[in-house]
Chains A and B, each alone.
Chain A
């Protein structure tokens, strides 16, 4: 009589470690290739706007005059098409997800004003503003 065939599996899993993580107490491990979110190194950006034009969901806007690069986080689908296309390789794919939010998040990156002397301490500091749309 082939009844309760699953008994062996159930009994074994009773004495084994659980297959799930105790999230969020135990943080999850991210893979190197995980498409979490898009990040930009604004200092290298030349504001050509290719990423904005090729984005399948129109999540990116680039303003050449104001030297700003904006991404709508909730609209981005993490296809990393822009990362492949960027001529200066200043866009990158980070392997952590953005935090859950209740409102639509827009990240605005503005290039620092050009200084007469490069290689000062302030060049790496890009001004990132977060605002809710």
Chain B
């Protein structure tokens, strides 16, 4: 047995600007144990519901995270609509689904870029982000914001997308397919990339189930788990089937996300073809009744959980947001055990951590 050393990793570390701290117990070059520690950017946003009216709170909730901002807004609105018993118009459901899938594309492209950066492939990183920029331009054109959209509200959406813009979105995302295919080939077939990804950070199906992994992490280990199957938005009408890989290593996680980008493109094009005319919101008035509602939503990073509890006033009594990273930290700790020190940054990256989300 070699000598054990503890190496502190983070909160400032070379992977991505997410303040996670890990105490890595190292034996020679191998990680024996990793002890996670978070809490550097806890903001107490959940507590703020007691001070902000439910209609304003959506703008605060959206700012939990910059990447899955739309998902948080949607989850909050769904849970409050559930408590109040509001039915939203069909067109709003379609628009929400389109924006959510666009968010997934931009989140996964950002992640693919960061992964390339993580194993030192700078030009691949730049090209991923070049494509992502087109999605951000669509966001700015349709919602007015590149990162935070402020477009979801309790009772529907705030902005409509006209016919011409919908057609344009459809052709832009369709055109992205060709460029994405070239980059997907690099990720999936390039010799040096495969060397860094294949067999690294293996998580078996049993472990993934036991440690309750969610999102692409679980799907890469062969679990059929995708909250889009629950039927939020219009996923049931679009004929959605989750992307599942069985290898359970970093390569499989990369492959799941690449397949999901292509799937999102198809879903967006299909939704744009099927979108009906009509209203985009219904007026919502009055207090939130003393009810409870639980909503689960598939965000780019995995399953997010929202729990809203009304108190017969304009303010909610409790709003709970449980983000996918929170659930993936135990699985991340598990994959770190037994890996090389040089692979640690990349393995942290493969769960797509968002610590700002986790701490709210």
The verdict on A23 contacting chain B, using a C-beta distance below 8 Å, is no
The verdict on A34 contacting chain B, using a C-beta distance below 8 Å, is yes
Of the residues B141, B158, B190, contact of A4 by C-beta under 8 Å: B190
Q: State the CA gap A128–B279 with chains docked (Å).
A: 39
Task: State whether A8 touches B150 (Cβ < 8 A).
Answer: no
By beta carbon, the residue of chain A nearest B158 is A84
Q: A33-B141, A35-B145, A77-B63 are in contact. Are A8 and B182 (CB under 8 A)?
A: yes
Q: A6-B123, A31-B141, A56-B56 are in contact. Are A19 and B190 (CB under 8 A)?
A: no
By beta carbon, the residue of chain B nearest A18 is B130
Q: A6-B124, A56-B57 are in contact. Are A33 and B182 (CB under 8 A)?
A: no
Shortest CB-to-CB span from A72 to chain B, Å, is 16
The verdict on B87 contacting chain A, using a C-beta distance below 8 Å, is no
Q: Which B residues are CB-close (under 8 A) to A10?
A: 123
The verdict on B142 contacting chain A, using a C-beta distance below 8 Å, is yes
The verdict on B236 contacting chain A, using a C-beta distance below 8 Å, is no
The verdict on A5 contacting chain B, using a C-beta distance below 8 Å, is yes
Q: Which A residues are CB-close (under 8 A) to B53?
A: 54
Task: State whether B144 touches A5 (Cβ < 8 A).
Answer: no
**Count of chain B residues near A, Cβ 8 A:** 32
**Count of chain A residues near B, Cβ 8 A:** 26
Q: State the CA gap A33–B144 with chains docked (Å).
A: 4
Q: State the CA gap A55–B121 with chains docked (Å).
A: 44
Shortest CB-to-CB span from B123 to chain A, Å, is 6
By beta carbon, the residue of chain A nearest B57 is A56
Q: Which B residues are CB-close (under 8 A) to A4?
A: 190
By beta carbon, the residue of chain A nearest B137 is A31
The verdict on A133 contacting chain B, using a C-beta distance below 8 Å, is no
Q: Which B residues are CB-close (under 8 A) to A31?
A: 140-141, 144
Shortest CB-to-CB span from B23 to chain A, Å, is 36
By beta carbon, the residue of chain B nearest A55 is B56
Task: State whether B140 touches A2 (Cβ < 8 A).
Answer: no
Shortest CB-to-CB span from B285 to chain A, Å, is 13
Q: Which B residues are CB-close (under 8 A) to A8?
A: 182
Shortest CB-to-CB span from B345 to chain A, Å, is 21
Q: A78-B150, A79-B150, A80-B150 are in contact. Are A33 and B142 (CB under 8 A)?
A: yes
Q: State the CA gap A79–B55 with chains docked (Å).
A: 12
Shortest CB-to-CB span from B35 to chain A, Å, is 36
Q: State the CA gap A1–B192 with chains docked (Å).
A: 11
The verdict on B52 contacting chain A, using a C-beta distance below 8 Å, is yes
The verdict on A102 contacting chain B, using a C-beta distance below 8 Å, is no
Q: A33-B143, A77-B63 are in contact. Are A2 and B189 (CB under 8 A)?
A: yes
Known pairs A13-B127, A31-B141, A77-B59 / 8 extra A-B pairs, C-beta < 8 Å: A3-B191, A6-B186, A19-B130, A33-B141, A33-B144, A55-B56, A56-B56, A56-B57
13 pairs, CB–CB < 8 Å, chain A vs chain B: A3-B190, A4-B190, A5-B185, A6-B186, A9-B183, A10-B123, A31-B140, A54-B53, A54-B55, A56-B59, A77-B63, A81-B56, A93-B144
